[in-house]
């Protein structure tokens, strides 16, 4: 018998073994976990100290370490041992298998005697990367071991290809989202800026026409429209300015001690005086400790949430729950309106994001929640939303005692 006995297990390989390996790869969504499982599964059958998969990054054509695992002899000297990077580069360039065997030197350290096998991850004539197996001090790779290594290379190719596809899909999704946001921006600008301007100009011109004498009631109606449209313009411009200041870090916060419970009560008194039909319930059990924050900006956040509830959940009651814990104060604003569908929910805090459809018909810039999030984060707090269609939407704010 010429072969090292520990290499013999490779001869036990059956079709079931190959099936098991392919199944581990195919049935696990997490590719790292799948490779870990395969590495453990093959270890008793197939000797290796190090297993490395390099991926040829399609963006810059650098070789990225996709997966690396040191077992056996490599493990104790993980930081110092070779990972076959030079050979990996050669494999990629030639897109062919390379086997590097040391000249046996008796009494030399095993770590200095690596048998390195590099196999390209080949798909149609493209080399997606390479898989490297390293055995320190042998045994040499037998014919069967080479065959199994090629089988493992095919499995690794599938994983790397899947990874590449997923990365491409992510890039495309980002590009699509950017395009949508850009389109939103243009729509918002043309609608929210030009529309009110058109009204203002139209009614002002009408009022100025010398050949027509308008009665008092019509004059008041035209002036009311001009007044309302000017408010919308003012709101849009101040939202645009706030969002630009927040993005460039130029919004100055005037921090001071704030009692959030009394702040909320003041907001609600003011708010219901202007909107007598709105029902707002406040639940606050305990006397709250003050937080350090900017009262004007925090008021802006709460008012924005109330305005949104009124706009997108008209007629629905609103509930504000105030609580405190070790970290800070928690404000939970819930409306019992139509809710937000799960596909849109993760995006509502993005700049210029508006949910297509019904909400688009209502005036808005898609900046309100973005501004809320930036203000809350400037207080080192957080704001999140949860929603159920047909049931309502909840915004949860956590504001720490000290920003």
Residues near ligand ADP (CB under 6 A) are: 308-309, 312-313, 335, 337, 340, 348, 353-355, 359, 364-370, 393
Nearer of residues 81 and 397 to ligand ADP, judged by Cβ:
397
**CA-wise closest residue to 312 among 361, 365, 260, 255:** 361
Question: What's the CA gap between 334 and 277, in Å, rounded?
Answer: 17
Minimum Å gap between C-beta 195 and ligand ADP is 14
Minimum Å gap between C-beta 252 and ligand ADP is 22
Nearer of residues 85 and 281 to ligand ADP, judged by Cβ:
281
Question: What's the CA gap between 111 and 67, in Å, rounded?
Answer: 21
Report CA-CA distances (Å) from 79 to 52, 59, 85, 113, 193: 14, 28, 14, 17, 61
Minimum Å gap between C-beta 146 and ligand ADP is 59
Q: How many CB atoms lie within 10 A of CB 396?
A: 15
Question: What's the CA gap between 113 and 167, in Å, rounded?
Answer: 38
Bridge-based pairing of strands 114-123 and 98-100 is antiparallel
- Contact predicate 25/39, CB 8 Å: no
Minimum Å gap between C-beta 351 and ligand ADP is 8
Nearer of residues 207 and 359 to ligand ADP, judged by Cβ:
359
Question: What's the CA gap between 250 and 128, in Å, rounded?
Answer: 46
Name every residue whose Cβ is closer than 8 Å to that of residue 120 and which is 6 or more positions away in sequence.
91, 92, 94, 95, 96, 97, 127, 129, 130, 153
Report CA-CA distances (Å) from 75 to 109, 129, 209: 15, 24, 89
Nearer of residues 44 and 356 to ligand ADP, judged by Cβ:
356
Nearer of residues 328 and 364 to ligand ADP, judged by Cβ:
364
The residue written with tokens 């918002």 in the block is 188
Minimum Å gap between C-beta 308 and ligand ADP is 4
Minimum Å gap between C-beta 127 and ligand ADP is 46
Nearer of residues 73 and 232 to ligand ADP, judged by Cβ:
232
Nearer of residues 141 and 349 to ligand ADP, judged by Cβ:
349
**CA-wise closest residue to 134 among 119, 155, 151, 147:** 119
170 burial level (CB within 10 Å; 0-12, 13-18, 19+): exposed
Minimum Å gap between C-beta 60 and ligand ADP is 37
What are the strands, taking DSSP E only, across 95-172? 98-100, 114-123, 126-136
Minimum Å gap between C-beta 120 and ligand ADP is 49
Nearer of residues 155 and 393 to ligand ADP, judged by Cβ:
393
């Amino acid at each position: 018998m010429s072969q090292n006995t520990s290499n013999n297990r490779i001869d036990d390989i059956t079709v079931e073994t190959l099936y098991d390996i392919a199944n581990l790869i195919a049935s696990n969504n997490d590719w790292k976990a799948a490779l870990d499982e395969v590495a453990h599964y093959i270890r008793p059958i197939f000797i290796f100290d190090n297993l490395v998969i390099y991926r040829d990054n399609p963006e810059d054509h650098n070789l990225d370490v996709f997966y690396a695992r040191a077992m056996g002899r490599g493990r104790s000297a993980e930081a110092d041992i070779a990972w076959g990077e030079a050979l990996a580069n050669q494999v990629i360039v030639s897109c062919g298998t390379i086997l590097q065997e040391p000249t046996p030197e008796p009494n030399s350290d095993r770590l200095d005697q690596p048998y390195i096998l590099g196999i390209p991850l080949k798909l149609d004539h493209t080399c997606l990367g390479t898989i490297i197996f390293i055995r320190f001090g042998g045994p040499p790779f037998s014919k069967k071991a080479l065959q199994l290594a090629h089988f493992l290379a095919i499995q690794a190719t599938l994983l790397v290809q899947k990874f590449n596809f997923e990365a491409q899909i992510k890039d495309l999704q980002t590009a699509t989202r950017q395009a949508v946001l850009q389109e939103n921006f243009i729509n918002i600008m043309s609608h929210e800026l030009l529309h009110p301007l058109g009204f203002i100009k139209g009614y002002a011109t009408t009022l100025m026409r010398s050949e027509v004498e308008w009665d008092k009631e019509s004059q008041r109606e035209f002036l009311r429209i001009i007044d309302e449209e000017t408010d919308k313009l003012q709101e849009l411009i101040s939202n645009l300015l706030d969002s630009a200041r927040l993005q460039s870090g130029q919004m100055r916060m005037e921090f001071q001690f704030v009692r959030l419970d009394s702040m909320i009560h003041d907001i609600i008194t003011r708010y219901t005086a202007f909107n007598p039909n709105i029902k707002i319930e406040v639940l606050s059990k305990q006397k709250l400790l003050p937080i350090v924050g900017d009262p004007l900006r925090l008021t802006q956040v709460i008012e924005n949430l109330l305005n949104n509830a009124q706009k997108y959940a008209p007629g629905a009651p609103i509930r504000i729950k105030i609580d405190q814990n070790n970290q800070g104060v928690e404000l939970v604003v819930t409306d019992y309106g139509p809710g937000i569908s799960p596909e849109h929910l993760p995006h509502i805090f993005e700049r210029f994001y508006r949910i297509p459809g019904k909400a688009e018909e209502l005036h808005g810039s898609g900046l309100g929640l973005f501004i809320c999030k930036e203000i809350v984060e400037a207080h080192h707090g957080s704001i999140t939303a949860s929603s159920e269609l047909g049931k309502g939407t909840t915004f949860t704010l956590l504001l720490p005692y000290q920003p």
